[in-house]
Structure 1
Amino acid sequence: MTRPRILVVGAGFAGVACVRRLERRLTSREAQISLLSPFSYQLYLPLLPQVAAGVLTPQSVALSLRRSERHRTRIIPGGAVGVDAKAKVCVVRTITGEHTVEPYDHLVLAPGSVTRTFDIPGLGEHARGMKTLAEAVYIRDHVIAQLDLADASQDEAERAARLQFVVVGGGYAGTETAACLQRLTHNAIKRYPRLDPKLIKWHLVDIAPALMPELGEKLGRAALDILRRRGIEVSLGVSVASVDADNVTLTDGRVLPSRTLIWTAGVAASPLIGTLGAETHRGRLVVGADMVVPGLDGVHALGDAAAVPDLAKKEDGAICPPTAQHAQRQGRQVADNLVATLRGEQTYPYVHKDLGLVVDLGGKDGVSKPLGVELHGMPAQAVARAYHWAALRTNVAKARVMTNWLLNAVAGDDFVRTGFLASKSGTLADFEYTEAYLTPEQVRKHIASLRTTHG
């Protein structure tokens, strides 16, 4: 008998947790496990702002998928750009840009999310994101480059524009990004004696009326006070009206001369979800409490890309938020349900009560709410770092991160640019490949053409 083929799409928190549990619980005779990912690492996304700020090296937050000696999952280097659920085939865009197909018996969709954008003039051409490792490295290079260029410029207007930075998004990603990068420029300016530190201006803009509302009013206000004390101008109830190479225009009419717009205004489910033609809820694939997609045989969906019912909350229609905490646990539950399905046993719904949230604002600042306990300042920052350190999957990653933290605290940063993408302006689409996905019709055509070619 041929072994059932389990294809897991995505090497984020959900996908890796699922694969690791499957490897532990299934024998090699019971199933063939494949993991589809453009990169052979799991990105620890919450620490990306610290990579951009130079506190951590990129390798520290890229956890290898090939380090385990027990590893037996086949890793396919590519991204899923379409799914034909009737034919049980996934269309794969390899890292060389070619298209191929991968058949499956059981499909686990954990493709994660992409940066959510809006139809704002100039946004696609001039905004930078903070969703991938490459984006974090690029933004660090870009920010340091602005300091270098401002230092070399003889034009006061150009100098002021290069030293004005705008971050859009008052959630965790935006707040941590603004906080960490402001510390980067604050520390770096000491190496530029020709530049006036007062010229460096950071703006955090969000359309919401409060900063990080999930933390509650008290902690949101504490975070706001920390940012403003550092000199970051926070504008709430405001968004971006347009952006070009030289200016960011806000909806309240202000025009900010700036060469840097970092866009972190939320996330949207991977465009892969749109290729299935299945029901969605606010862009996320509708699933049952067991994370099975209704009407699609053998398909599970979880993580940021799925609207998983939150059974731990009393209100009807509650959906699990797109956090690493939920994604990891959903991955394990899907794996357990797949094992149960293969063995003819009972499956179970996903239930998990949120353990709280942590926000590291760099230095000695943070705001955290572990198990409902509200903390801010140094205690909150200690809890945030302890949580992230404990959550890292490998001991090697833990050692690297701890070493980086200690080294940065003692020796600081050298503010070195790598020259990454120095010759072009990297856009959101460049880094997140949002234009690579197929329509359902294109998926069927690709599958038909590939079958004809190999038939």
Structure 2
Amino acid sequence: MSPRILILGGGYVGMYTALRLQRKLRRGEARVTVIDADSYMTYQPFLPEAAAGNLEPRHVVVPLRRVLNRCTLLSGWATAIDVAGRTVDFSPHRGESRKIEYDVLIVAPGSVSRTLPIPGLAECGIGFKTVEEAIHLRNHVLAQLELAASTTDQAVRREALTFVFVGAGFAGVEALAELEDMAHDALRYYPELKADELRWYLIEATDRILPEVGPEMGRWTLEQLRARGIDVRLGTKLESAKDGRIVLDDGTEFDAATLVWTAGVKPHPIVRHSDLPIDAKGRVKATSRLTVEGVDGVFAAGDCAAVPDLTNPGEYTAPNAQHAVRQTKVLADNVLAHLRGGKMGDYRHAYAGSVASLGLHKGVAQIYGRRLRGPLAWFVHRTYHLSRVPTVNRKVRVLIDWTLALFFRREIVALGALSEPRREFELATRDK
């Protein structure tokens, strides 16, 4: 019987590794199985543009069954890993759980939002890691404009037009900038609203934003956001959000109908439910060859793994898409070397730089030491990510979306019923 390769996670690492393996494996050499709760991979750098309406949400996801046509896909959750018994507990969306046996295991479930025990956060907040969250946030922001334009209650109006983002890394800054840009464009259809009525807050516990692009470009981005009327609070923490009442540790209090939490990530919980070696941050201890320390036949990469950075001794690679995608080449080739008794290679990649979009025709970038800003950085951001989004199908669809946006204004419509599609039918059944 051919060896069984089991991949936990269908994100960057899981999908790209499976794709490379199915291309390089000889017929009958091994069987590849991928476990993920979703049937698609989300290209997360495009989530802000999907939320702002610049991209069709379906075009930022890649259907796994289409691209991994020589792999077995299981839709559900891996709930526990038994390295000693070489099994993984699998729970489908419905039905009984079962154990999946493996010969080679690739641990790549990614990360989840890192939250804090802040009163009201679980009830009022929303993350920004999935396409579902991006669509919901877009619909929610537009729904708040509709509410504010329709009500005569000034307290309700102020609350609806107050938007709070916590965390000033890439996710927080890009999401806020794109949605603020979208809301500003939408105001032409809301004569009842004035631009200065919209209040946008960016809350950051440290003393800088976008640390990935360097201090100088971070300061420039801060100036640009504040020039757009965005209230950026550095060195400030969210203390409470109970019942939509935002309380900051600098003494500020106000009501807000929108709270977006983007203050970092942590390894997927499955890592804790295993007998794998983990570090103080809850990441799987990996080697530069992307094998798990002291465990034969188990590999790990991506956000959940502590991978030594050979270009910066003593440090670990950052949990970002750039490293995740590049690690997959070494990972897949090392799995093949493991199966064939060959020599494994080390993962070594110098950080190329970072790019961030700040809205339509606005951006910031630091690439190989060169600093870019404004329209040029925005163009580089789009060009880079277009080259990285998987499959020609998605590249073409994204390019078509961007081309159409040159000639037509983006759609300003809130499809709130998407989150509660049965609500109208339920109301109809009650009206007897």
TM-score (norm. length: structure 2): 0.94
Cα distance in 2 between the residues matched to 1:90 and 1:74: 15
Which residue among 124, 127, 142 is the counterpart of 2:125? Answer: 127
Quick check: 1:308 aligned with 2:307? yes
Which residue among 332, 345, 348 is the counterpart of 1:348? Answer: 345
Match of 2:22 in 1: 23
Which residue among 405, 409, 414 is the counterpart of 1:417? Answer: 414
Cα distance in 2 between the residues matched to 1:399 and 1:335: 27
Relative to structure 1, the CA distance from residue 361 to residue 273 in structure 2 (aligned partners, 3 Å threshold; closer, same or farther) is same
Question: Where do residues 50-449 of structure 1 align in structure 2 (5 Å cutoff)?
Answer: 50-68=49-67, 71-96=69-94, 98-277=96-275, 278-313=277-312, 316-418=313-415, 419-422=417-420
Assess if the C-alpha contact under 8 Å between 1:245 and 1:259 holds in 2: no
Assess if the C-alpha contact under 8 Å between 2:124 and 2:244 holds in 1: no
Deviations 1:112-159 (A, max 9, x none): 000110111111111100011111111111111111111221101110
Moved more, 282-291 or 170-179: 282-291
Assess if the C-alpha contact under 8 Å between 1:168 and 1:206 holds in 2: yes
Secondary structure of the corresponding residue to residue 245 of structure 1: helix
Assess if the C-alpha contact under 8 Å between 1:85 and 1:297 holds in 2: no
Cα distance in 1 between the residues matched to 2:135 and 2:37: 18
Cα distance in 2 between the residues matched to 1:18 and 1:76: 16
Deviations 1:319-377 (A, max 9, x none): 00011111112112111111111111111221111111110112111011122211111
Relative to structure 1, the CA distance from residue 204 to residue 212 in structure 2 (aligned partners, 3 Å threshold; closer, same or farther) is same
AA at the equivalent of 1:220 = G
Shift of 1:422: 4.1
Shift of 1:279: 2.4
Secondary structure of the corresponding residue to residue 108 of structure 1: strand
Match of 2:426 in 1: none
Relative to structure 1, the CA distance from residue 222 to residue 290 in structure 2 (aligned partners, 3 Å threshold; closer, same or farther) is same
Relative to structure 1, the CA distance from residue 318 to residue 248 in structure 2 (aligned partners, 3 Å threshold; closer, same or farther) is same
CA-based RMSD of the aligned residues comes to 1.5
AA at the equivalent of 1:282 = K
Shift of 1:185: 1.0
Give unmatched runs, 5+ long, in structure 2: 423-432
AA at the equivalent of 1:52 = A
AA at the equivalent of 2:42 = L
Secondary structure of the corresponding residue to residue 356 of structure 2: strand
Assess if the C-alpha contact under 8 Å between 1:163 and 1:200 holds in 2: yes
Cα distance in 1 between the residues matched to 2:142 and 2:401: 20
Cα distance in 2 between the residues matched to 1:101 and 1:421: 33
Assess if the C-alpha contact under 8 Å between 1:14 and 1:303 holds in 2: yes
Secondary structure of the corresponding residue to residue 410 of structure 1: coil
Could you say which structure has the greater relative contact order, defined with CA pairs below 8 angstroms and 6 or more residues apart? 1
Secondary structure of the corresponding residue to residue 75 of structure 2: strand
Secondary structure of the corresponding residue to residue 370 of structure 2: coil
Identity in percent: 39
Give unmatched runs, 5+ long, in structure 1: 425-455
Deviations 1:268-318 (A, max 9, x none): 1111110114222412111111121123332111100000000012xx321
Cα distance in 1 between the residues matched to 2:374 and 2:345: 40
Secondary structure of the corresponding residue to residue 387 of structure 1: helix
Assess if the C-alpha contact under 8 Å between 1:83 and 1:275 holds in 2: yes
Cα distance in 2 between the residues matched to 1:36 and 1:120: 32
Deviations 1:85-117 (A, max 9, x none): 111111122122642221111110110000110
Shift of 1:423: 8.1
Cα distance in 2 between the residues matched to 1:81 and 1:403: 40
